[in-house]
Structure 1
Amino acid sequence: MALTDETLADLALSRSSLDRVAFERRRPEIIRELLDDPHTRVAEVRGDRMRVAAQGGPSPDGALALALRAPEHADRGRLALLLGRDPAGTAYLGVVGDEPDGQDASPVDDPEVDGWLTMRQAGEALCPRDAGVFTTALALANWHGAHRFCPRCGAPTEPVEGGWVRRCERDGSEHYPRTDPAVIMSVVDPDDRLLLGRGAHWPEGRFSVLAGFVEPGESFEAAVAREVAEEVGIAIDGARYLGNQPWPFPSSVMIGFAATTRQTQLTIDPVEMAEARWVEREEYRVLLRDGSIRTPSGISIAKRIIERWLGQTVESVVERVS
């Protein structure tokens, strides 16, 4: 897809700066060697959290930084993931902390205790390297947690190739990380109003642009048209690519589009949608300021798509009444 002046830049989770060193993964001893090297930087994943710390002084790259560490003896018994190397050659490993009985083993209930934060809480404030480390490690950890057994014969699988493959211990078949593509789109009518929807299980006031998973044998543009038709009963005239970003919740990539329509009468699918509405720009600003409507999180491409239509950031709207 060609980039244009309308393509969204610097999406929060699309800023990885590491070389993924795919050829190094093939060496069976690579993880052991990196765990023996005190210069290796380790990012530990516990459940859906990593430990972060505030940057010292003003930083143009990010207000938070991952609390990376050297390898520990306990890491030898944990799932280790080769994330890549930085331009200086330093290697980065993701290490998955213990999870008893498959449950989240994060030692904290308060997300801010000891600096253990989720991607949603920390992602926007991390520098490109750390955002990429967190995103990749979390996506891989989620995949490993859900694919411990062979889909062909049911035997246990083991991680190989630096954590990027799982191999069946019985039949030797290899299985690779799963990424589920989903389209997300603004839809604008002839009066330049934006279509917003509230999911069937979302709380009151939480609205976003429409989205849905791509089906087998379907192009991204066809998925945009189908999802809009299914969820609100209108046909679009066309869709333009805006950008994409990984979304490791648990294993998606979001592909953004801008669509237009000449139809305004909505017929919502009650299974998918609680409500849908058209909003004008000034109306949306008023709803933001009085708290009647909530936007998606700061790390999401959904927020950036809405701001593209709005012509300003959500924060700049709210700050006017703060």
Structure 2
Amino acid sequence: MPSLPVERTPAFAFLESPLDRAEHLRDDAGVLAARWPLARVVVVDVEGRAAADADGAPLRLHGADIAPADDDAPLFLGLRDDEAWFAVRAANAADVAIPRWIDLRTAAAGWPAFEATAFAQARAVLHWQARHRYCGACGTALEYRRAGWLGWCPRCELEHYPRTDPAVIVAITDGSRLLLGRNPGWPPHRYSTLAGFVEPGESLEQTVEREVLEESGVRILRCRYLASQPWPFPSSLMLGFFAEAAPDEPQVGDELEDARWFTFDEVDAALRGDSPEGGLLLSPSVSISRWLVEYWHAAMATQG
């Protein structure tokens, strides 16, 4: 395996400038109510988009601008310095003029980091609420408590919490080349690092081995963890790995349209935006996938 840089700071979306989640305030309804009028509010519609101004920048809304429904309390996101941040569904801001709606990927690329990160947090939890309205044990409608972070069943008293689905994502090398795959429906020539969800009773390393073998037929020899990224599409946590593999010829099955080894020069040209027509296209810089490719590229470059 190439000798990796000792440190390489993650440079992808949803990590920088997170809110202080101030969990101790989630049970203090009085304090949250007092903070509401001056609090910043992220409004998210049913498609998971956030309210924006006419230029596509974050729309600066405060609690005083919005009157949430009594049965749909705002989701408390946390604090930025001493400013409270909440999120509400678009239905609770029906009286507010919203010039544009911006999807999360666009926000990640163009918004200030702390606002894109808050949007990602809001989108993930509101999506969970929308998809978990009833108790999975008895079917009773849930009541949301702890400022939106707990779904409580009034019948069987079962507690439901937001879920996060762990998934591995891997930069795979045979010592000189990088293995990338593409899904059907992606833009032409777009390739990315391989990824897959962790199954019950499985370690992360076992998931790396299984998913890579299933998707490409390539055998993993060893791997190491590098970094993670919240990926609320809708509720994943991407766990980034760097792996050494046997130089097997990729064989794809049902999951990928194609998988192949790429040389350093091909990846280098793609990272510089200088690929020839029909050449390799990589994932956008907001994703950990692109960062993993850059990590491999940096490791290979240090070897001359």
TM range (shorter): 0.7 to 0.9
Indicate yes or no: 2:282 matched with 1:295. Answer: yes
Deviations 1:151-197 (A, max 9, x none): 0101101211011111113222110000000000011113x111111
**TM (normalized to structure 2)?**
0.85
What is the count of residue pairs matched by the alignment?
287
Contact 2:218/2:247 (8 A) holds in 1: yes
**TM (normalized to structure 1)?**
0.80
Change (3 A) 1:155 1:21: same
- Stretch deviating more after TM superposition (147-156 or 68-77): 68-77
Change (3 A) 1:205 1:252: same
Alpha-carbon distance in 2 for matches of 1:289, 1:125 = 27
Give the secondary-structure state (helix, strand or coil) at the position aligned to 2:275: helix
Alpha-carbon distance in 2 for matches of 1:172, 1:297 = 44
Give the secondary-structure state (helix, strand or coil) at the position aligned to 2:91: coil
Q: Residue 24 of structure 1 corresponds to which residue in structure 2?
A: 25
Give the secondary-structure state (helix, strand or coil) at the position aligned to 2:213: helix
Give the secondary-structure state (helix, strand or coil) at the position aligned to 1:288: coil
Alpha-carbon distance in 2 for matches of 1:54, 1:133 = 20
- Stretch deviating more after TM superposition (225-234 or 288-297): 288-297
Contact 1:28/1:160 (8 A) holds in 2: no
Contact 1:14/1:244 (8 A) holds in 2: no
Q: Aligned Cα RMSD in Å?
A: 2.8
1:43-192 alignment runs, 5 A limit: 43-46=42-45, 47-52=47-52, 66-71=58-63, 72-77=65-70, 78-87=72-81, 89-98=82-91, 114-190=99-175, 192=176
Contact 1:186/1:306 (8 A) holds in 2: yes
Give the secondary-structure state (helix, strand or coil) at the position aligned to 2:38: coil
- Stretch deviating more after TM superposition (148-157 or 193-202): 193-202
Shift of 1:32: 3.5
The one-letter amino acid paired with 2:51 is R
The one-letter amino acid paired with 1:24 is L
Change (3 A) 1:75 1:43: same
Gaps of 5+ in 1: 56-63, 100-104, 108-112, 313-322
Shift of 1:201: 4.8
Shift of 1:5: 2.5
The one-letter amino acid paired with 1:301 is I
Shift of 1:133: 0.8
Give the secondary-structure state (helix, strand or coil) at the position aligned to 2:26: helix
Contact 1:198/1:273 (8 A) holds in 2: yes
Contact 1:197/1:275 (8 A) holds in 2: yes
The one-letter amino acid paired with 1:84 is G
Q: Residue 192 of structure 2 corresponds to which residue in structure 1?
A: 208
Change (3 A) 1:93 1:220: same
Give the secondary-structure state (helix, strand or coil) at the position aligned to 2:220: coil
Change (3 A) 1:54 1:11: farther
